[in-house]
Chains A and B, each alone.
Chain A
Amino acid sequence: MRKHPADLILPALVLAAFAVAPFLYSNELMLFNFIAFLALAQGLNIVYGFTGYLPFGYVGFYGAGAYGFALAVMHLHAPPLAAMAAGAGAALLLAVILLPLLRLSGAYFAIASLAAAQAVYEVVSNPALQHITKGPYGVSLSAVFAPRFSYYVALAILGVAFALVVWLRNSRFGLALQAIREDPVSAGMAGVSVVRGRTVAWLLSALVAGLVGAVFAWHISVFYPDTAFDLGVSIFSVVFVLFGGATTLTGPLLGVLILYGVYNAIGITVPQYFQFIYGALIVGLVLFLPNGLVSLLTARGLRVP
């Protein structure tokens, strides 16, 4: 496969910018949220951009990661980095349980994944499980609260997400996934293992979301099931990927930087205008750029990182 230096330079620049950003901009939580959404958008990009599966319930993995982390801290008194592994493990376990969903496609898959995420939320927030998950009353992890350290762990996770997308864009496996996305029957006939390809993409995508959820739990330290399984996380991630353009590094990146930037610039002071502008942007995009912003360049035959 041909190597494209821009595929490495772009993520490196983003990571470097966010590494120094806390020294230049004091609202670290806002920067953290940018990193979290950048990683989630790239994680969603893995499954949607490369296989065509759009999981509306992507937040389920995020919530599983957050609660995996919380349970490890609360019950096992695990140190935060070990609890991160527990969060990732919880998301992977959920992904394995939900593997049969991959037999569905299109809107059926999207809705089924959403229902699955809601089911996990209902289990976690069940008052009968209060002694395990704290039920609907939320968890407090103040003992491991370390905002600066967890910020840089989140940045490392973003690096992992970038690396996965770069790998998929430059590997035979990534090409095989794209072949599956375009026509699974033909890809199978050509010797591509469709089931294996989809499964790996699904698990990698879940892993990223689980890690982001776990680091979110660590960074914020106090949260409720409604927060960890907030459908807004899914919606934002999906919109960011669609807005920028899937299968690329740049698309989800642009989606997060522009839309989440607008959200923070306008949404903080005048949320009503934010919703209006957000709505107008998305309507305009769907009508005129259904393949995202990057299609402005790719339509002209340019390769976008």
Chain B
Amino acid sequence: MMAALALLAGFATASWAAPVPKEIRVGTLYASTGPFASISMPAYDGLRLWARQVNAAGGLYVKPYGRKIPVRLIAYDDQSSTATAATLYNELISRDHVNVLIADSGSVLTSVAVPIAREHKMFLFDISGTGKPFFTRDNPYIALMSLPISTLWPSVQADFLDSVGLRAGIRRVAILYATNDFSGTHANALAGYLREAGKLRIVYDQGVPTNTSNYTVLINNIAATKPDAVIELGFPGNDIGFLRALHESGEHFRYVFTLFGGFEMHALLGGAGAAAMDGTFTYVPAALYPYKVNYGPTLARFHAAWDAAYPKGSGVPWGADGLMGYMTGLVVQKALATTTGMGQLDLRRAVFAQSGKLRTLAGPFRLSRDGAQIGEMTPVGQLHADGHGGLRLVAVYPPAAAKAKPVFGK
């Protein structure tokens, strides 16, 4: 009797279980050209590395099917155009019927994905689109993976200046930013934190077009306000232009901060040089900070895998963006391994269930209720010339992450 029941149960399971797909389709976009290529391509390369590793290990373990299934990465080139990206996100959802949708890097190319994903009830894995408007209580179809939301991100630097900076004599702050969604929001949030604390005085707060390359006059204007701290927020091209002009101007400020000094250190090193960057402050990206992990490889192992996959001369740079793409793959992997169903809201529940638990090479993963990333607080670090034309980036704040004390200029 028991054997018959067992046989019946087995038969029922075999007959009624959903058919196992031959592949899990992961859809994403990348920008091979245009202003976002420098952040998009490495993230896509990180995702490709993740997919290759997963398939080499027999595929993704998908809990609802109880087995490993190969992953197929479907990717289109949006060429940094939001109009093209919108069409292509639709293509991934409506024509390719992807199981998992991953946005292109950065806020601009993510922005068009947000309403489209929501309209199609598709959960959006947002790699690095940190724009605050993306995350609202009434939209359950998004979660930010690997960077803190833009309004929260600058809080670390504001705390640093309000505490350590203040003790070191920093009183007057100048903020110069490129007027794009990313650095503009960042600048406004930073100014908001500083004003709210009321300990430091903002003496200069100016936005310039993102295509600004000559900062000579701007630096003169800033110097005229006699700031102790100068914070320049822009894309890598802005940082290079600013650092070069500052170095050539002969002006000295006690604290100089650039947004991409750590994230795109090699690009800035090539554009501005070690001398111009020596002593400046920046964020310490996960690619340069070994977080403790409980899922996926450590930073060292990932770096080794990256170098093996993309050796020097391959044209694929090592850096923070690649790590963010790879880390997004890890979250997808964990979600599929724990989800109770293959519906998009099931996937969302699986991702949110990891909030506060998952720790990857990008740091602690923690989501707010509206899907914004609030776990990965990027430390502030200081760059020091290594004497061989290169730079070292050392975390200086917050105290829990600090590896050295900051050295302020005179």
Q: A residues bordering B, Cβ < 8 Å?
A: 26-30, 33, 125, 127, 135-138, 140, 142, 145, 147, 220-224, 226-227, 230, 232, 264, 267-269, 271
Contacts and interface: CB of A to CB of B under 8 A. Distances in A.
B82 A30 contact: no
Q: Taking each of B82, B118, B139, which has the highest tally of chain A beta carbons within 10 Å of its own beta carbon?
A: B82
Contacts of A269: 76
Given A29-B116, A142-B115, A269-B76, A137 B87 contact: no
Contacts of B94: 26-28
Which 7 pairs show the lowest CB-CB distances between chains A and B? A26-B94, A29-B90, A127-B207, A136-B179, A127-B179, A27-B90, A227-B82
A5 B33 CA distance: 47
Given A30-B87, A135-B184, 16 more contacts: A29-B86, A29-B87, A30-B91, A125-B179, A136-B180, A136-B181, A136-B209, A142-B139, A145-B118, A222-B111, A222-B115, A223-B82, A226-B82, A230-B81, A267-B84, A268-B91
B181 A137 contact: yes
B347 interface: no
Given A30-B90, A220-B112, A268 B181 contact: no
Interface string B74-111: 00110101111011101100110000000000001001
Nearest to B110: A222
A135 B178 CA distance: 12
B119 interface: yes
B114 interface: yes
Nearest to A226: B82
5 contacts: A127-B207, A138-B108, A226-B82, A264-B87, A268-B77
Interface string B120-161: 000000000000010010010000000000000000000000
Contacts of A147: 119
B190 to A, nearest CB: 15
A145 B87 contact: no
Contact of B115 (A28, A138, A221, A230): A221
Contacts of A220: 86, 112, 115
A30 B93 CA distance: 12
Tell which of A27, A221, A267 has the most Cβ of chain B within 10 Å. A27
Contacts of A127: 179, 184, 207
Residue picked from A223, A230, A232, A271, most chain B C-beta under 10 Å? A271
Task: Please indicate which of the listed interface residues A125, A137, A221 has the most CB atoms of chain B within 10 Å of its own CB.
Answer: A137
B181 A138 contact: yes
Given A33-B83, A136-B179, A145 B119 contact: yes
Nearest to A148: B119
A189 to B, nearest CB: 46
B209 to A, nearest CB: 8
A222 B114 contact: yes
Given A127-B179, A271-B32, A137 B91 contact: no
B185 interface: yes
Contacts of B81: 230, 232
A135 B77 CA distance: 27
Contacts of B115: 142, 145, 220-222
Interface in B192-231: 207, 209-210
Contacts of B32: 271
Nearest to B184: A137
B274 to A, nearest CB: 32
Contact of B179 (A30, A135, A223, A227): A135
Contacts of A33: 83, 87
A271 B181 contact: no
Nearest to B97: A26
Contacts of B91: 27, 30, 268
Contacts of B116: 29
Contacts of A221: 115
A222 B83 CA distance: 11
A269 B83 CA distance: 16
A131 to B, nearest CB: 12
Contacts of A226: 82
B113 to A, nearest CB: 9
Contact of B112 (A135, A222, A267): A222
A269 B96 CA distance: 13
A223 B131 CA distance: 13
A26 B95 contact: yes
Interface string B175-193: 0000111001100000000
A22 to B, nearest CB: 10
Contact of B83 (A136, A138, A142, A227): A227
Contacts of A264: 87
A230 B184 contact: no
Contacts of A230: 81, 83
Contacts of B111: 138, 140, 222-224
Contacts of B95: 26-27
Contacts of A137: 179-181, 184-185
Nearest to B177: A127
B371 to A, nearest CB: 14
